[in-house]
Amino acid sequence: MSLVMFTAMVGFAVAPGRRDALAGYIALLCIAAGAGGAGALNMWYEADLDAAMTRTAGRPLPRGRVSRSEALAFGLALAGGGAAILGLVNAAAAALLASTVFFYVVIYTMWLKRRTPQNIVIGGAAGALPPVIGWLAATGSIGLEPLLLF
């Protein structure tokens, strides 16, 4: 999460032009909500594997501190709320955030992770998008520069 936030902040900070500090704070909070929601949805989907692995057995779902339905509702609300609120700042950034959450949860977690060892290579695209989202939130457009941050 800290790397997601740092890279999103860098994308926002290095974007050209005048930036609205309040919009930047809102964008960063929304990106954090999207990332947190995606993480919760990942844990919801992988509760069975998490319970079997020593490293992840202490997470809230395997320990029974949070139910699967609570995790699903929390993840959807956090990710959806983050994208919806970001839409008030910049619709394109909100769309990219929602697409990133979808890619991470559906493509990476549900499809690639259990099927191929290349999952981290392909799924890494979701982790590379926060600086692009930050840039997009600041400028409203994507050029060559944010793609170099990708």
Provide the angle, in degrees to the nearest 10, between the axes of the packed helices 2-14 and 21-45. 150
pLDDT score of 51? 85
According to the model, what pLDDT value does residue 49 have? Answer: 85
Q: What is the mean pLDDT of residues 80-88?
A: 97
Confidence of residue 144 (pLDDT cuts 50, 70, 90): confident
2-144 folds as Tetracycline Repressor; domain 2 (1.10.357)
Inter-residue contact 9 to 134 (CB < 8 Å):
yes
Query: Which letter does DSSP use for residue 53 in this model?
Result: S
Q: What is the DSSP letter of 112?
A: I
Residue 67's φ and ψ, nearest 5 degrees, are -80, 160
Q: Which residue has the tokens 């941050």?
A: 149
d(CA 49, CA 47): 6
